Amino acid sequence: MRPIIGVLGRANSEKLGHNIVCCFEKVRRSIIKNGGIPILILPTQDVEYESLSPKDVYLLTDSEKEMLINEINLCDGILIPGTTKLYEYDKFVYRYAKEKDMPILCICGGMQLMAIANENLEEIKNIIVPNSTNINHSDAEKDYVHEVRIIKDTVLSRIINKDKIKVNSRHKFHIENTNLKISAYSTDGIIEALEVPDKKFILGVQWHPEAMLEYDEDSNKIIKYFIDKCKEKQ
């Protein structure tokens, strides 16, 4: 059976100005293309997220956490897509799914969430910082922007089976410090992939494999491997 993949909803606004919580089409289609069933995990606070900064949203109540747990428990795995704003519900979903040892794939801002939601934050400083290298990492128009060098003996190296690949790049900030396992760097030294070794499957990538599926074999390998891990949970 196809596994159910919960996609964390992203605050946005449509062309008429109405605030929405949505799933990006390329994320949805990437799951279907590689054998999964996507469902949307909606945040449970009674606020319009797109109108508010994360620091201005009140903390989740116990009832709101329980509703999120009910949503997560419908799923075989969780995909956390990119975003420019991370809310408390992002951290709660990631931490709960991690505690349950569910397969989790984190993309771009989702990977940055991995570092921010790490339980040992007191050990590290300057976690997320603006990009300031010789590569323009915010270049959404290009299919390939830079090279990524993959570290041996990591989950990512087993998935790709290469020591370097080319990727797209659409972020203005990056992870500067982390005590999670790093599995790839760009040629300018920016962290491009993270994983949690003692879990079934938790991988974060700084680029957007879901946007490369029509032209890049390695991106399909990442999504397919994640969904295959979700099948094992059934």
What's the count of helices (H) and strands (E) in the chain, helices before strands?
A: 6, 13
Instruction: Tell me which residue range forms the domain holding 224.
Output: 4-233
| Positions in the chain short of pLDDT 70 | 120-125, 233-234
Q: Which amino acid is located at 171 in the chain?
A: H
pTM (two decimals): 0.95
DSSP states along 62-124: HHHHHHHHHHHTT-SEEEE---S---HHHHHHHHHHHHTT--EEEETHHHHHHHHT-TTGGG-
User: Closest Cα to residue 78, out of 199, 175, 168, 167?
Assistant: 199
Number of domains within the chain: 1
Q: How many CA atoms lie within 13 A of 27 on its CB side?
A: 25
User: pLDDT at position 37, please?
Assistant: 98
End-to-end CA distance of the chain: 8
**What is the C-alpha separation between 183 and 12, in angstroms, rounded?**
31
Asked if 12 and 20 count as a contact pair (C-beta separation under 8 A), the reply is yes
Alpha carbon distances (Å) from 7 to 16, 62, 87, 94, 143: 24, 22, 15, 11, 24
110 contact partners, CB below 8 Å, separation of at least 6? 8, 79, 80, 81, 82, 83, 204
Structure tokens, 105: 């794939």
pLDDT of residue 124: 67
CATH of the domain at 29: 3.40.50.880
Q: Residue 170 phi/psi, 5° resolution? A: -145, 45
Looking at residue 44, its amino acid is T
What are the tokens at 86? 């991370």
Of 168, 234, 219, 233, nearest to 33 by C-alpha is 219
pLDDT at 121: 66
Contact predicate 76/37, CB 8 Å: no
Please give the pLDDT value at position 135: 85
State the pLDDT at residue 127: 85
pLDDT of residue 103: 98
Distance CA 187, CA 209 (A): 18
Predicted pLDDT of residue 88: 95
